[in-house]
Amino acid sequence: MDQYGQGPGVYPKTLAPKAPAHPYCRCHLQPLTGLDARTKWQERPGAAQAWIRAQGINDGASIMGSRERLKMVLDGADPVAVHNSRIDPMYQVRLVGGGDVAPLVVDRMPVMNESYKIAKEGGRHGGMLKNYSDLPRQMVERGLRSIEGQISKHEEWIADPFSKLTATIDADAVRYLKERKWPKDVARLREEADVLRGLVEEMKNA
């Protein structure tokens, strides 16, 4: 609601809600830190998919991590399971009452992903890792975001080749790009992204 003519949820400084009030409705928020872990989360079937679908393709892909994972959710996959499939077990999420989790060990290092391990040993993508290793973490994170953006673009092209190509392209060439070239590029880019994720995690824990 644009109550003061400054945009939805924007208040004059003297009237701005103070934390922990929500800026839109002034409701006071209270974290439920004492919620019993055995509580079962009650949700209308399909509510998560409906909400993600309502966000649109770009925002939905951003929420889920890629257009491929967004499609999995919109096709009926569990959003939490899809999210956790690409996350180190140390950082996976779950719904309240969603099952047991292993106790966290404070000094446990994150599991090194395979692509990063290979690159660190001088194998595939070792040159790329060497080039990024001397950069500040912010630059490495920027490179990671760039690669993730390329992955999303390639996934979009695979889903709709003519979002990239013109209608005059030979059908065999389209098939080659859609079925071989672009999927191969995506696989390579995912490896590169994993290498940079591994480097970022190592920098955070240094």
pLDDT in tens, 66-100: 888 888 888 888 888 887 776 666 566 666 555 55
Mean pLDDT of 130-150: 94
**Is the whole-model pTM more than 0.75?**
no
Q: Is the pLDDT of residue 8 over 90?
A: no
**What pLDDT digit, counting tens, does each position of 150-176 carry?**
999 999 999 889 999 988 888 899 999
Mean pLDDT of 131-158: 94
Q: Is the pLDDT of residue 59 over 60?
A: yes
> Three-state DSSP class for 87?
coil
The pLDDT of residue 73: 87
Beta bridge partners of 28: 21
Mean pLDDT of 129-139: 95
End-to-end C-alpha distance for the chain, whole angstroms: 45
With tokens 């060439």, the residue in question is 173
Instruction: Give the chain's mean pLDDT.
Output: 79
**116 pLDDT tier (thresholds 50, 70, 90):** very high
> Three-state DSSP class for 72?
helix
Most confident of 8-22, 127-141, 156-170: 127-141
The pLDDT of residue 23: 57
The pLDDT of residue 11: 65
Beta bridge partners of 21: 28
Task: Give 161's DSSP letter.
Answer: G
Q: Is the pLDDT of residue 5 over 70?
A: yes
Task: Give 6's DSSP letter.
Answer: S
Q: Is the dihedral of CA 62, 67, 72, 76 positive or negative?
A: positive
> Three-state DSSP class for 170?
coil
